[in-house]
Structures are given as structure tokens and as C-alpha cells.
Amino acid sequence: MEYSYPLSPDWSTTEIIDVIKFFEGVEQAYEKGIKREDMLARYRRFKEIVPSQAEEKTVFREFEEVSGYVSYKVVKQTKEKEDGTIIKM
């Protein structure tokens, strides 16, 4: 896929890398599946960087517009599943 991730200029290089890892996890959930624990860890780190619910919604919407992947659905399924399961959209 050729698109840009929604990133903030206020984020450090490490934060940008971690946000990209989160979105790569969303992509994996759609394309081949990802372990729940891995996705949950990525989401927890994402929330450290983007603690605001409003900002999260904005970033998720921007990502969906460029990629077609719905981050919210992946996060919701990740929270609902039991340990050890694979998240597959």
C-alpha cells in the first residue's frame, strides 16, 4: 500500500515509530491476522501518545480515509476477545 500515516509534528521520532507500529498492526489484522496481545500492547502505547479520545477519533478517521482500514473495529475486537486469540478482520 502506498499512503501516508496520520502523524503529528509534535511527536518525537520514537512516538512516530510506535504510532506507525500501531497502524501496521491494524493492517495486519485486516490482511493476515495479529495476536491479541501484540495488538493490545500496540494500542496501549498508542494511547500513551494520543491520550485524548477526540484526537484518537481524528487520527483513526484520517487513517481510514487513506487506507480503508477501520482502526476502531480492530481495537474493539481486540478488547472483546480472550487472551491468545488472533484478531482477524
Q: How many domains does the chain have?
A: 1
**pTM for the full model?**
0.90
DSSP-derived pairing of the beta strands 34-35 and 86-87: antiparallel
Could you list the residue range(s) of the whole structural domain that residue 30 is in? 13-79
Whether 85 is in a domain gets the answer no
pLDDT tens for residues 25-83?
999 999 999 999 999 999 999 999 999 999 999 999 999 999 999 999 999 999 888 77
Whether 88 is in a domain gets the answer no
pLDDT score of 37: 92
Cα 49-51-56 angle, rounded to 5 deg: 90
Q: Which residue has the higher pLDDT, 66 or 89?
A: 66
CATH of the domain at 29: 1.10.220.80
